[in-house]
Structure 1
């Protein structure tokens, strides 16, 4: 029996422009989270009610305007993140965190599946003291629930800067559904997410 280990690093892509996203609502808040490869996280949050946009990018590092290739080395200190613009009248930050815990394993240090390195760490970059408090409570609740077996290693740190990833990373799964990593990893995760949160009535 043979096994194929797939990582998002270095996968081939289509490079068509990403679709424009509507940003008409002025009363938006932002969440910036890291939970492994941003292709998976973006695809799922894009389906949630109250989410106006999801942008893949980089946060938590020390280099200005990092490129994907630089971030992949692990030397810039950045994590692959998504920045979510959401309407708090429709979806709360706590609900976003519920989806965040569902989407990735917060007990694995600097790793999600075969994606290994500090760029794949679990992190919440809070935009306010209120978000910080909610993140701490949410993590404690999830950890005590036994949702994941083990001690959570998620960083809860202040948001400083967000650098948008290259255009070809935006709406990646939608544009590249048959790419090997998307078929093997992102697709099944999206299907599981859709079933769980669809039953809760939280999807568009």
Structure 2
């Protein structure tokens, strides 16, 4: 693998434990890190973000090798494993910190993200409009250590068993050819 070709996209799709757990299983993904971005407070804590007062969103930075998986494929997975039509909410997780977002670091990534959203909207897959924001990545900070690889470390924890695990299973079934062998 040529590490100079590795690209990164930052995704907000509800609780970062869910998004992280899926991308840790994707063939071609070289790194996954939970964090916070696009808020008004630098380096916020989890408690601050959960208060909803920071404007930050729980995100996952996904590093991937485009020789193995394209940005388009990374985003197609994203749109299957979360609901891009609910504003500031994913299931029972409610607040601006759970908003749907694609946070880009290049004009090319923004172009692809907007194309994928337009295609998804035109496909009729969703009954409601897609509310996923596409913005430049701003003020990213890594989440606390105990949030990293959370599902892998706590698969039997209630939230993981009832919320995260079904999203991982949906990914496995929908994208069988993209599942990393474990």
Tell me, yes or no, whether TM beats 0.5: yes
Q: What corresponds to 2:100 in structure 1?
A: 122
CA–CA distance in structure 2, aligned partners of residues 131 and 77 of structure 1: 23
SS in 2 for 1:26: helix
1:82 and 2:63 are equivalent in the alignment: no
1:131 and 2:131 are equivalent in the alignment: no
Structural mapping, 1:16-31, within 5 Å: 25-31=3-9
Structural mapping, 1:1-204, within 5 Å: 25-198=3-176, 201-204=177-180
Query: Structure 1 residue 25: deviation in Å?
Result: 2.5
CA–CA distance in structure 2, aligned partners of residues 172 and 148 of structure 1: 30
Choose between structure 1 and 2: higher helix proportion: 2
Higher CA-based Rg: 1
Query: Structure 1 residue 62: deviation in Å?
Result: 1.4
SS in 2 for 1:144: helix
CA–CA distance in structure 1, aligned partners of residues 121 and 64 of structure 2: 25
CA–CA distance in structure 2, aligned partners of residues 123 and 194 of structure 1: 22
- Structure 1 window deviating more from structure 2 (186-195 vs 119-128): it is 186-195
Deviation track 1:14-66 (CA, whole Å, cap 9, x = no partner) reads xxxxxxxxx98232110001000000100001111110010000011111111
SS in 1 for 2:110: helix
State TM-score, norm by structure 2. Answer: 0.96
Query: Structure 1 residue 153: deviation in Å?
Result: 0.7
CA–CA distance in structure 2, aligned partners of residues 197 and 52 of structure 1: 17
Q: What corresponds to 1:16 in structure 2?
A: none
- Structure 1 window deviating more from structure 2 (46-55 vs 145-154): it is 145-154
CA–CA distance in structure 2, aligned partners of residues 48 and 56 of structure 1: 16
CA–CA distance in structure 2, aligned partners of residues 94 and 24 of structure 1: 20
SS in 2 for 1:47: coil
Q: What corresponds to 1:6 in structure 2?
A: none
Moved over 4 A (4+): none
Deviation track 1:115-139 (CA, whole Å, cap 9, x = no partner) reads 0000000001111111111111100
Aligned length: 180
